Amino acid sequence: MLMEHDKLTEWTKSSYSAVNGDCVEIKYASPDAVAVRDSKDPRTGVLGFTAKTWSAFLSDVSRNAQR
């Protein structure tokens, strides 16, 4: 499920998180940038993607999950 841009202004954990909570978190760092980090150790760094690249990634993952 894709969330609206304004809903991700804070770090949001993936809905596919493991029982222990280890997963990734995302937030929109700006209108054109998405930040992704490891939820179990958020101090290790952040990956940055353009909003367009992130959207294409989510669409591809969603398409492949339906196979």
Break the chain into its structural domains and give their ranges.
Answer: 5-65
Output 21-24 pairs: Cβ under 8 A, ≥24 positions apart.
none
pLDDT of residue 2: 45
DSSP 8-state symbol, 13 = E
- Among candidate residues 22, 24, 18, 9, the one with its CA nearest the CA of residue 58: 24
Q: What's the pLDDT score for residue 52?
A: 92
pTM for the whole structure: 0.70
Instruction: Look at residue 9 in the predicted model and tell me its pLDDT.
Output: 67
DSSP category for residue 3: P
Q: What's the confidence (pLDDT) of residue 15?
A: 72
The Cα-based distances of 43 to 5, 25, 37, 40 in angstroms read 24, 12, 8, 9
Provide the residue-wise pLDDT of the chain in tens; the chain has 67 residues.
344 444 556 888 877 666 666 788 888 888 889 999 888 888 888 899 998 999 999 899 888 877 6
